[in-house]
Structure 1
Amino acid sequence: MSQSSELDESRRLGSGIVLAAAGCAIGLVAVFLTARRGVTEWPFAAVFGLLIAVGETVQFRVDGTRNRAPIATSAALGYVMLRGPALHAPPEVAQIVAVTGLATLAGVFPRAIAGLPWDLVISSRRVLSVACAAITFVLITPEDFAWNGSWTHAIALTGAMLLGVLSAGVVDALVGAGQDTEKFNRPFPSALRDELVVMTRIGLAMGISGMLLAAGTSLIGLWAVPLVVVPLLLTQFAFRRFASAQRTYRATVRSMARSTEIAGFSSPGQNARTARLAVAIGNDLGLTPARMEALEYAALLSGVGQLALADPSPGGASLLRTREERQRAAEIGASVIERSGVLDHVAEIVRHSNDPYRQGRANNADIPVESGIVNVALAYEQLVGEGSGQSPDKAMESVGLGIGAEYDPVVVESLRRVIGRGFRF
């Protein structure tokens, strides 16, 4: 295993081990307490546990970074907020955590047996966030508050549900931001910003579904479960189709990027290495997920325009070409990318990826910083790659000589931090 792989693995396991251990410990304590006190409202525990398990089994990855289990999350939050005439007594916090934890394991087990991707850390985070929601909901809701036709109780319960859902979302966002900071060296405020955006777009929808599930089940019993779950299943189907389209989209971009390697205009793996470094710099600068995706695509496709040139550069070293040739290749590449109709921002990044900083972004704030990132990442990759073979320190020194003139000073300093943390191709 390379030094880079070992570093990435240690970052991945760092807080993940703590979270998984915390989730398991809390789950075991909850199971012990529930076994001692006995399970109340068995039918509700069984149905909601089954929903959570099924939701975990059919989880999917929609954004390339985290598995999503909307049915499991909504069912767990719904079980937290059961209060009404259909139940003799609401479930206790320990029972809620125990049912959620055992059902989560029951759902993950088939995926592990089938060899499907699963993430114990993400599942543990869901258990922890559900425990926070349960504690919040119980603390602020007296036991006599239920869906009984009283507007006062209805308003109070709705407010308590919202606070429970928000507490779960905020805790998960804080934990997720900490993990992103640890794994990708992102600034914590930027990581938290992105987690909160995800919470408002996806998490809130799952929370509201859980509230509807809890309200309906509390009023009319388990007959309400199919009424809420069917729309959730349709929503999950739509998300899975979207995730599949995204995977196809990424595969198409990577295939386009490999065309320059096949034609000999870039060295094998050069585009992927450049993209990896560009993403590391983008993480360090705290770019949003949408801009990060565009940056990665631009780095992968930055050499497409070279296919219009007469002959490839030796070893794919485009730095050996004249500035006019490089800028013409960038313009041609941008024009090709624009014809896709969906990569306009990527095309704009590629168009300015060979502009000298002093003549470009220093005087034109409309030029995206991503262009400067691609420029620096490509230069560094070619200096340490097969064409030159310089050491990282020597390559960093060479890039530093062009700071302020050829390269964006902010990006070069970010590169220095990324390399200083042990980044290796």
Structure 2
Amino acid sequence: MTGLADTDRISTRNLGSGVVILVAGAAVGLAAFLITVRHGISEWSFAVTFGGLIAIGEMVQFNVYGNRNRAPIATSAALGYAMLRGPALSPPDIAQIITVVGVATMIGVVPRAVAGLQWDVVVSARRVMSVACAAIVFTAVIPVSEGWNGSWRQSMPIILAMLLGVLAAGVTDALIGAGQATERYNRPFPAALRDELVILGQIGMAMGIGAVLLAAGTSLVGLWAPPLVVVPLLLTQFAFRRFASAQRTYRTTVRSMARSTEIAGFSSPGQNARTATLAVAIGNDLGLTPARMEALEYAALLSGVGQLALADPSPGGASLLRTREERQRAAEIGASVIERSGVLDHVAEIVRHSNDPYRHGRANNANIPVESGIVNVALAYEQLVGEGSGQSPDKAMESIGLGIGAEYDPVVVESLRRIVGRGFRF
């Protein structure tokens, strides 16, 4: 979770931060293609079968964790093909693997592009490089092998080599993804790498096991294996898509609730979204986990819900003009409303303390989440700099700086200072 995402359009936001990845992927793919053209493709039936699985997997990819496109079937098929013919792979074999994966990926994304669905060219480039890494590691671990002979004991070295290849692919993708997140969202690299490794453990494990099953099954029984192994992969895909659908439902519900304060005049148009955008930027800078980032974004969007219980709207939605008692009462009411959803309890806790002064709140109570302080600072900055306020970022930072240690969390204010210094604009 790194911010608000539009899942209905083609994703081109990676192009700025992913140029190096695209160039590297294109260079690897082109070199592999030229080598393959020179030596020709061997075992066409396997190349077509696995290439078809990769293309289909690309067509049915989905968005998860806010901004990450995943294609479990395509990834498992690509890794399975990389380890299909035993670990004694020659450079032309590795080039053929990269070529088949690259061409099949491009074939798969064409229908998505034509239909106007989201696809991520950088993620596709990352997959090509990860598969190349898996093939190289796989053949380097056991350079000579007699292949599969039906004996599990004698075949264990090949299985271990497969697992190492899958692990190498996952770590490679995680390192590239962490570097990309650091550049795009200004997340600390250790935090970005931690997030990528967590996702690798959650989603990558299923894809890696699928790849091993595809490679081992096909090596033992031929092309009868892929249709059988694809069934659990389809179930995995279905489960992931259900999770992604639940995420979208939550986001839609939260956005609808957030708009209610704008309709009633208790916040200015777009105020909640701007506050959430800034809160997410601060959360990225502080390296919060994806789960905490999601709760932070929801809390920022819903931070003004409790104002609906007040008698009159604040002029221009400026809740800072309210007395402290009114703001804290509104926060408590808002938290109670959110709690009634039954699924956003952590969000409610953030909102409940979002108007607590730092000196009397988190400074003396470590149980108050830092996300509450982030929402407090983000809302104050938005009301000072947002539409119709007229203050410059420097002037707003000066005003907020006067409240460091008393009203605002010093760690959060320092994070905001870094973000503003990097040219943040609503």
Q: Secondary structure at the match of 1:92?
A: helix
Describe how 1:325-340 pairs up with structure 2 within 5 A.
325-340=326-341
Q: 1:192 to 1:330 in 2, by over 3 A?
A: same
20, 23, 26: which one pairs with 1:24?
A: 26
Describe how 1:273-352 pairs up with structure 2 within 5 A.
273-352=274-353
| Structure 2 equivalent of residue 69 of structure 1 | 71
Q: 1:28 to 1:91 in 2, by over 3 A?
A: closer
Deviates more, 1:147-156 or 1:414-423: 147-156
After superposition, the C-alpha distances for 1:95-153 in whole angstroms (9 at most, x for unaligned) are 11111011111111111122211111110000000000001111112342422133443
Superposed displacement of residue 387, structure 1? 5.1
Q: CA RMSD in A?
A: 1.8
Superposed displacement of residue 306, structure 1? 0.3
Is the aligned partner of 1:258 residue 2:271?
no
| Structure 2 equivalent of residue 6 of structure 1 | none
Measured in 2, the distance between the counterparts of 1:278 and 1:24 equals 36
Instruction: Give the conservation status (yes or no) of the 8 Å contact 2:267–2:304.
Output: yes
Measured in 2, the distance between the counterparts of 1:331 and 1:152 equals 63
Is the aligned partner of 1:393 residue 2:401?
no
After superposition, the C-alpha distances for 1:354-381 in whole angstroms (9 at most, x for unaligned) are 0000000000000000000000000010
User: What is the letter of the counterpart of residue 76 of structure 1?
Assistant: A
Q: 1:238 to 1:91 in 2, by over 3 A?
A: farther
Is the aligned partner of 1:153 residue 2:154?
yes
User: What is the letter of the counterpart of residue 385 of structure 1?
Assistant: G
Instruction: Give the conservation status (yes or no) of the 8 Å contact 2:29–2:98.
Output: yes
Q: 1:254 to 1:416 in 2, by over 3 A?
A: same
Instruction: Give the conservation status (yes or no) of the 8 Å contact 2:36–2:92.
Output: no
Instruction: Give the conservation status (yes or no) of the 8 Å contact 2:39–2:92.
Output: no
Measured in 1, the distance between the counterparts of 2:142 and 2:372 equals 53
Describe how 1:14-413 pairs up with structure 2 within 5 A.
14-83=16-85, 92-386=93-387, 388-413=389-414
Superposed displacement of residue 255, structure 1? 0.6
Q: 1:360 to 1:89 in 2, by over 3 A?
A: closer
Measured in 1, the distance between the counterparts of 2:19 and 2:140 equals 29
Q: Secondary structure at the match of 1:67?
A: strand
Q: Secondary structure at the match of 2:238?
A: helix
Deviates more, 1:401-410 or 1:56-65: 56-65
Deviates more, 1:142-151 or 1:380-389: 142-151
Measured in 1, the distance between the counterparts of 2:394 and 2:12 equals 24
Measured in 2, the distance between the counterparts of 1:91 and 1:157 equals 20
User: What is the letter of the counterpart of residue 136 of structure 2?
Assistant: I
Q: Secondary structure at the match of 2:336?
A: helix
Measured in 1, the distance between the counterparts of 2:81 and 2:13 equals 34
Measured in 2, the distance between the counterparts of 1:88 and 1:104 equals 22
Superposed displacement of residue 238, structure 1? 2.4
Superposed displacement of residue 89, structure 1? 10
Superposed displacement of residue 18, structure 1? 1.7
Deviates more, 1:238-247 or 1:273-282: 238-247
Gaps of 5+ in 1: 1-8
Q: 1:150 to 1:10 in 2, by over 3 A?
A: closer
Normalized against structure 2, the TM-score is what? 0.94
Measured in 1, the distance between the counterparts of 2:28 and 2:412 equals 44
Measured in 2, the distance between the counterparts of 1:358 and 1:235 equals 48
After superposition, the C-alpha distances for 1:62-121 in whole angstroms (9 at most, x for unaligned) are 22211101000000111111136xx99998111111110111111111111222111111
Q: Secondary structure at the match of 2:231?
A: helix
Instruction: Give the conservation status (yes or no) of the 8 Å contact 2:60–2:71.
Output: yes
Deviates more, 1:355-364 or 1:30-39: 30-39
Deviates more, 1:371-380 or 1:21-30: 21-30
Normalized against structure 1, the TM-score is what? 0.95
User: What is the letter of the counterpart of residue 239 of structure 2?
Assistant: A
Measured in 1, the distance between the counterparts of 2:157 and 2:148 equals 10
Q: Secondary structure at the match of 1:364?
A: coil
Measured in 1, the distance between the counterparts of 2:90 and 2:296 equals 53
Instruction: Give the conservation status (yes or no) of the 8 Å contact 2:267–2:316.
Output: yes
User: What is the letter of the counterpart of residue 38 of structure 1?
Assistant: G
After superposition, the C-alpha distances for 1:296-318 in whole angstroms (9 at most, x for unaligned) are 00000000000000000011000
Aligned residues: 415
Q: Percent identity?
A: 79
Q: Secondary structure at the match of 2:363?
A: coil
Q: 1:235 to 1:12 in 2, by over 3 A?
A: closer
User: What is the letter of the counterpart of residue 301 of structure 1?
Assistant: L
